[in-house]
């Protein structure tokens, strides 16, 4: 029986009502009295020396209030990087300054040169176009291999190299891996590209800076997934504003997918300008600006080798990757190809020896950072593609080769540092076989063939490390932040509850699902619980939402705070009923004395806490409000198995996805409807990567795919309906809810399924020479591959 | 600046606009109707879809002055008279057809126009009609499902 309330119920989302009636409050909907508007002048060359910025004519134009250039920011900090990776040689990564406005050089198309503040946006934009900029064009560094060749132009002259770091993981395993590969019965090698993507949350970024000259307090309204992180980074490292004088608000945010984690120049500019001008200052990105300023994702070039024994057991994996950092280090960029990628290379399999090498490279392109999945899709893609290729080479069924190598005893210590606490990979594979109706494939294939189409079936597994992350561990790995989460549970005198969480919802539905958890714990209706997020003035210091961490980490903090509340309320109830605390049970919103019919309602206990006439004041403070922080003991490890069926038109190379099925293990589920939606969205983005999307730079560093006319976003008629299942649940062993996180799974698990399916279709269609096609699998690429 | 007058959600409104002012700007900035969103600058995303004299139109592709005298309906005018959600809005909530909500106003306006034109669309027709509306969150599955449900048809694609 589906539940209709509490944990496990598909409760309809309360936030929907405002979104469906046009009453959401996104950052661009905020307009402050006296607000001025910002337009940026951005570099239209990828690499150049900035010889002069003449703002005189522009400054005299109608409505212009002030023009800021790099000089104005020479004295403040650069945009900081939150993770320091140490390379194989023991040297820390190269970390160039990332100025708020370009200074000395411009390093990518879109790099901001000047910011014009004017009375209206149109005036600001007109004036920005009138600024005279003298740029000496320099050769653009675009291709990663060329960037590392001797004699390449340098993105940052002072570094003397375009290599950010050369990372080996685990360096001490390198020799053993080489020996295992040399001695193996069979080695499958695959060269592949993980295509560069542009996140494209539908809401463009916006920043509104405000300054209160009476209190000296700055406020920034911004499209962020983590307002406290922005407050810390911008306040402490860029502008030198102490946190008690800086408030950051991220109201309704229209999607993030990672791209709104990072601290961006425009946020600092608007906050700085509001203080300098003593009036509110607003910037709203045009979509064409988003394309050249939002951090991009992926962009890895990889060689992977998989060594197997005669029976198809995996013996060793070795990978070598070039990872694009773009022109500057975005907030978490260095961690993505390293600790979010190398640690996942074991996948769902028992491979005794693994070695991962990553060289991170600066280029004259937009910075690259975390995008839905962040490092884990890159790991999964190469692993699941090479397994498919190996299975074909060795004549083993793709399901069978995976089953032969599954990790099947937990906890499992991988050779790449992380330890999986729990899972059941055979169960999700069994589930997949059923929900994808693999048994019916042959019949469907014949039907496709009758239409002249090649049908293929692709499968893969995935594992991800979510619930990011144990602070002591990430600290050792170079993180400059803790990755705990926080919550304050405030119970009011009449029993209503407000939870202030450091997690942030930008589509995930926390206002509904977090309330379900609290309501379930106490046994009161969800309507009595309100979730507040996104404002540093309310919520305790929190790290925000990314890495599928909200419920696993933020939810755990909330549960911990609620448990403190319940324990105090139990003491109050014991006092009210003159019973021993140990005899008090909480059920359905009532405290009962066990074994009696005595009870007191939740509301009466709350009232007593705030009107403490009959109250144990000697032992207990009045009031009912608790804060908790939760730092996870380990990552969580959601895992699953995905299957895709495609039809390829041999005449045109066009790929159509006919069926897509996903069997996931997310541990316990709070709201199945919301979880389904998260998986759907992730699959949609993964299919977008596999078939459609690619950020393309030309040799001069111009972004060719800079609008929705050139960058192929998945549309409704590009995608199929999905069959999703999350009934194979092995609850996480180390957080109170037993939850693992579901936000990224779809984007991680789907690209290899699609590519494996297309390769399978081509093989069945007689194109056995095709072993790989790089994403996106456009008709042109598929057709060309078929021609040999 | 020029004066423009039109009917929005049944009310007569007017304002001063520049020749280059887009209808979506007039709605958002001039009238404070911020439910209509702007997701792109090339008229591709559909976040700004409104109805002009009953037809679904991208409000970023129309000058405010060109809507002179027109009857415009926005997401703020879609609920029932008593304030409850209309059938399409309710179907969106029931089927979890929105996550961040940013594309949602445009999706609802497009869906309403589709069902007015074609009350019993097939799943394929729904998907094709939504070509001009991008959603990055939902993978479209639940949007299609909600529109099918709002059309009173069996939700054939309900796979879960
Ligand atoms: S704002 Fe994107 S189509 Fe109008
Ligand atoms: S719900 Fe976020 S873009 Fe559609």
How far off is chain B from A682, nearest CA to CA, in Å? Answer: 7
Structural domain harbouring B130: 87-150
How far off is chain A from B122, nearest CA to CA, in Å? Answer: 12
The answer on B68 and B42 residing in a single domain is: yes
| A343 secondary structure, DSSP code | G
How confident is the model over B22-44, as pLDDT tens digits? Answer: 999 999 999 999 999 999 999 99
Mean pLDDT to the nearest integer, A61-81: 95
Could you tell me what percent of chain A has a pLDDT over 70? 100
Residue B24 covered by a domain: yes
Which pLDDT belongs to residue B155?
66
Which pLDDT belongs to residue B159?
42
Cα A220 from Cα A376, distance rounded (Å): 32
The answer to whether B98 contacts A20, with C-beta atoms less than 8 Å apart, is yes
The answer to whether A21 contacts B128, with C-beta atoms less than 8 Å apart, is no
Distance A508 CA to ligand 1 centre (A): 24
Q: Residue A23: closest CA among chain B residues belongs to which residue?
A: B35
Cα B34 from Cα A23, distance rounded (Å): 8
Q: Which H or E element spans position A316?
A: strand A314-326
Write out residues with Cβ below 6 Å of ligand 2: A 202, 254-255, 507; B 98-104, 135-138
Q: Which residue, of B77, B110, B132, is where some domain finishes?
A: B77
Residues of A in contact with B9 (CB under 8 A): none
The answer on B91 and B61 residing in a single domain is: no
Mean pLDDT to the nearest integer, A734-754: 96
Cα A453 from Cα A48, distance rounded (Å): 50
The answer on B65 and B11 residing in a single domain is: yes
pTM over 0.90: yes
Distance A203 CA to ligand 1 centre (A): 11
Q: Where are the beta strands (DSSP E) in A70-149?
A: 105-106, 112-118, 132-137
When mean pLDDT is compared across A21-35, A212-226, A313-327, A544-558, the lowest value belongs to: A544-558
Q: Which H or E element spans position A584?
A: strand A584-587
Structural domain count, chain B: 2
Which pLDDT belongs to residue B160?
37
Shortest-distance atom of ligand 1 to CA B61:
4
pLDDT at A189 over 80: yes
pLDDT at B156 over 60: no
Per-residue confidence band for A567, with pLDDT thresholds at 50, 70 and 90: very high
Q: Which residues pair with A96 in a beta bridge?
A: none
pLDDT at B158 over 50: no
Cα A485 from Cα A514, distance rounded (Å): 14
Mean pLDDT to the nearest integer, A593-619: 96
How buried is A183 (Cβ within 10 angstroms: 0-12 exposed, 13-18 middle, 19+ buried)?
exposed
Q: Whose CA is closest to B135, among A200, A775, A286?
A: A200
Q: Which residue, of B77, B100, B125, is where some domain finishes?
A: B77
Task: Assess whether the previous peptide bond of A170 is cis (omega < 30° from 0).
Answer: yes
How confident is the model over A537-546, as pLDDT tens digits? Answer: 999 999 999 9
Q: Which CATH number characterizes residue B116's domain?
A: 1.10.150.120
Shortest-distance atom of ligand 1 to CA B132:
3
Mean pLDDT to the nearest integer, A409-420: 96
Q: What is the DSSP track for A738-759?
A: -B---SSHHHHHHHHHHHHHHH
The answer on B114 and B54 residing in a single domain is: no
pLDDT at B56 over 80: yes
ipTM computed for the complex: 0.97
Tokens of B71: 């009857």
The answer on B128 and B108 residing in a single domain is: yes
Could you tell me what percent of chain A has a pLDDT over 90? 96
How confident is the model over A22-65, as pLDDT tens digits? Answer: 999 999 999 999 999 999 999 999 999 999 999 999 999 999 99
3-class SS at B71? strand
Phi/psi class of residue B83: alpha, beta or left (left: φ > 0; alpha: ψ in -120 to 50)?
left
Q: Which residues pair with A169 in a beta bridge?
A: A356
Q: Which residues are CB-contacts of A451 (< 8 A; sequence separation ≥ 6)?
A: none
How far is C-alpha B132 from the chain's CA centre? 11
| A98 secondary structure, DSSP code | -
Distance A681 CA to ligand 2 centre (A): 9
Q: Which H or E element spans position A491?
A: strand A485-491
Residue B68 covered by a domain: yes
Q: Which CATH number characterizes residue B20's domain?
A: 3.10.20.30
For atom 2 of ligand 2, which residue has the closest CA?
B100
Q: Which residue, of B51, B77, B103, is where some domain finishes?
A: B77
Residue A215: CB atoms within 10 A of its CB come to 8
Average pLDDT, chain A: 97
Which pLDDT belongs to residue A281?
98
Residue B159 covered by a domain: no
Residue B82 covered by a domain: no
How confident is the model over A672-689, as pLDDT tens digits? Answer: 999 999 999 999 999 999
Residues of A in contact with B157 (CB under 8 A): 721
The answer on B70 and B113 residing in a single domain is: no
The answer to whether A22 contacts B160, with C-beta atoms less than 8 Å apart, is no
pLDDT at A207 over 80: yes
The answer on B72 and B20 residing in a single domain is: yes
pLDDT at A299 over 50: yes
Mean pLDDT to the nearest integer, A296-313: 98
The answer on B116 and B55 residing in a single domain is: no
Q: What stretches of A666-744 show up as alpha helix (H) in DSSP? A: 672-687
Residue B155 covered by a domain: no
The answer on B72 and B34 residing in a single domain is: yes
- Is B126:A44 a contact under the CB 8 Å cutoff? no
The answer on B71 and B43 residing in a single domain is: yes
How buried is A427 (Cβ within 10 angstroms: 0-12 exposed, 13-18 middle, 19+ buried)?
middle
Residues of B in contact with A22 (CB under 8 A): 33-36, 74-76, 78, 105
Q: What is the DSSP track for A385-412?
A: HHHHHHHHHHT--HHHHHHHHB--SSSE
Residue B158 covered by a domain: no
Cα B160 from Cα B148, distance rounded (Å): 16
Mean pLDDT to the nearest integer, A726-752: 96
3-class SS at A166? strand
The answer on B71 and B29 residing in a single domain is: yes
How confident is the model over A453-496, as pLDDT tens digits? Answer: 999 999 999 999 999 889 999 998 999 988 999 999 999 999 99
The answer on B68 and B9 residing in a single domain is: yes
How far is C-alpha A294 from the chain's CA centre? 13
Tokens of A40: 């940026």
Residue B144 covered by a domain: yes
Residue B66 covered by a domain: yes
How far is C-alpha A223 from the chain's CA centre? 15
Q: Which residues are CB-contacts of B110 (< 8 A; sequence separation ≥ 6)?
A: B46, B49, B56, B129, B130, B132, B133
Cα A554 from Cα A511, distance rounded (Å): 13
3-class SS at A648? strand
Q: Quick one: CA torsion of A550, A552, A555, A559, rounded to 10 degrees?
A: -170
Residues 68-87 in B contacting A (C-alpha not used; CB under 8 Å) = 74-76, 78-79, 85
Hey, what domains does chain A have and what are their CATH numbers? 31-139+205-284 (3.90.1170.50), 300-404+413-469+634-787 (3.30.365.10), 484-630 (3.30.365.10)
């Amino acid at each position: 029986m589906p539940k209709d309330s509490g944990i496990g119920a598909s409760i309809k989302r309360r936030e929907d009502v405002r979104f469906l009636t046009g009453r959401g409050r996104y950052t661009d909907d905020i307009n402050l009295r006296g607000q001025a508007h910002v337009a940026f002048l951005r570099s239209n060359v990828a690499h150049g020396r900035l010889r002069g910025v003449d703002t005189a004519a522009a400054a005299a134009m109608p409505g212009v209030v002030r023009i800021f250039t790099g000089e104005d920011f020479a004295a403040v900090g650069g945009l900081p990087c939150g993770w320091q990776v140490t390379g194989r040689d023991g040297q820390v990564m190269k970390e160039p300054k990332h100025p708020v406005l370009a200074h000395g050089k411009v390093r990518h198309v879109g790099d901001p040169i000047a910011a014009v503040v004017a009375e209206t946006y149109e005036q600001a934009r007109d004036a920005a176009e009138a600024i005279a900029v003298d740029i000496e064009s320099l050769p653009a560094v675009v291709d990663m291999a060329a960037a590392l060749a001797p004699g390449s132009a340098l993105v940052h002259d002072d570094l003397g190299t375009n290599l950010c770091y050369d990372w080996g993981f685990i360096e001490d395993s390198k020799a053993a891996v080489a020996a295992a590969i040399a001695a193996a019965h069979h080695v499958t090698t695959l060269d592949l590209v993980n295509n560069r993507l542009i996140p494209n949350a539908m809401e463009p970024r916006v920043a509104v800076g405000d300054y209160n000259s009476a209190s000296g307090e700055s406020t920034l309204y911004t499209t962020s997934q983590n307002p406290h992180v922005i407050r810390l980074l911008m306040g402490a490292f860029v502008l030198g504003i102490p946190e008690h004088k800086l408030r950051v608000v991220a109201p309704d945010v229209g999607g993030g997918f990672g791209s709104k984690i990072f601290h961006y120049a425009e946020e600092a500019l608007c906050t700085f300008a509001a203080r300098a001008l003593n009036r509110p200052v607003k910037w709203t990105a045009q979509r064409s600006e988003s394309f050249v300023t939002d951090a991009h994702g992926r962009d890895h070039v990889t060689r992977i080798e998989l060594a197997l024994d005669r029976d198809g057991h995996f013996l060793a994996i070795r990978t070598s990757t070039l990872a694009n950092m773009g022109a500057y280090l975005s907030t978490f960029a260095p961690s993505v190809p390293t600790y979010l990628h190398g640690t996942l290379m074991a996948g769902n399999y028992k491979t005794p020896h693994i070695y991962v090498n990553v060289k991170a490279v600066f280029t004259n392109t937009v910075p690259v950072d975390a995008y839905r999945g962040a490092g884990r899709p890159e790991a999964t893609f190469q692993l699941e593609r090479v397994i498919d290729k190996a299975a074909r080479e060795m004549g083993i069924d793709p399901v069978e080769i995976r089953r032969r190598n599954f990790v099947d005893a937990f906890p499992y210590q991988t050779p790449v540092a992380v330890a999986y606490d729990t899972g059941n990979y055979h169960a999700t594979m069994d589930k997949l076989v059923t929900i994808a109706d693999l048994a019916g494939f042959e019949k469907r294939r014949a039907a496709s063939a009758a239409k002249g189409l090649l049908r293929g079936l692709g499968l893969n597994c995935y594992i991800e490390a979510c619930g990011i992350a144990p602070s002591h561990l990430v600290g050792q790995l170079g993180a400059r932040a803790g990755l705990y989460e926080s919550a304050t549970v405030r119970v009011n005198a009449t029993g209503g509850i407000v939870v202030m969480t450091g997690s942030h919802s930008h589509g995930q539905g926390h206002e509904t699902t977090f309330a379900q958890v609290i309501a379930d714990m106490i046994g009161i209706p969800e309507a009595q619980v309100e979730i507040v997020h996104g404002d540093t003035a309310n919520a305790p210091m929190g790290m925000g939402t990314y890495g599928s961490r909200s419920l696993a980490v933020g939810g755990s903090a909330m549960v911990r705070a609620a448990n403190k509340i319940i324990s105090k309320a139990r003491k109050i109830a014991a006092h009210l009923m003159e019973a021993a605390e140990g005899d008090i049970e909480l059920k359905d919103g009532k405290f009962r004395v066990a074994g009696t019919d005595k009870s007191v309602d939740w509301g009466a206990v709350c009232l007593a806490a705030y009107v403490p006439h009959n109250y144990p004041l000697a032992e207990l403070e009045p009031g009912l409000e608790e804060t908790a922080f939760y730092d996870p003991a380990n990552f969580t490890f959601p895992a699953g198995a995905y299957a895709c069926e495609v039809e390829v038109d041999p005449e045109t190379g066009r790929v159509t996805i006919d069926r897509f099925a996903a069997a996931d293990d997310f541990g316990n589920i709070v709201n199945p409807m919301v979880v389904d939606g998260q998986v759907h969205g992730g699959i949609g983005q993964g299919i977008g990567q596999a078939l459609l999307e690619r950020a393309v730079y030309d040799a001069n560093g111009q972004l060719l795919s800079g609008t929705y006319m050139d960058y192929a976003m998945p549309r409704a008629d590009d995608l199929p309906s999905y069959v999703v299942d999350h009934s194979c649940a092995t609850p996480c062993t180390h957080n109170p809810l037993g939850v693992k996180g579901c936000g990224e799974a779809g984007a991680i698990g789907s690209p290899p399924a699609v590519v494996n399916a297309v390769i399978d279709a081509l093989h069945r269609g007689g194109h056995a020479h095709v072993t790989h096609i790089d994403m996106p699998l456009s008709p042109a690429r598929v057709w060309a591959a078929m021609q040999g | 600046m020029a004066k423009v007058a039109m009917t929005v959600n049944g009310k007569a409104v007017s304002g001063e606009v520049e020749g280059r002012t887009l209808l979506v700007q007039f709605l958002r900035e001039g009238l404070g109707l911020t439910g209509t969103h702007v997701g792109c600058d090339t008229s591709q995303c559909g976040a700004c879809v409104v109805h002009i004299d009953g037809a679904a139109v991208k409000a970023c592709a129309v000058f405010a002055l060109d809507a002179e005298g027109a009857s415009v309906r926005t997401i703020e005018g879609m609920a029932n008279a008593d304030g409850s959600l209309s059938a399409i809005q309710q179907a969106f909530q029931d089927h979890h057809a929105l996550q961040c909500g940013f594309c949602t106003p445009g999706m609802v306006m497009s869906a309403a126009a589709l069902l007015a034109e074609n009350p019993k669309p097939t799943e394929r027709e729904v998907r094709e009609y939504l070509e001009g509306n991008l959603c990055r969150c939902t993978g479209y599955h639940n949007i299609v499902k909600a529109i099918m449900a709002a059309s009173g048809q069996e939700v054939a694609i309900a796979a879960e």
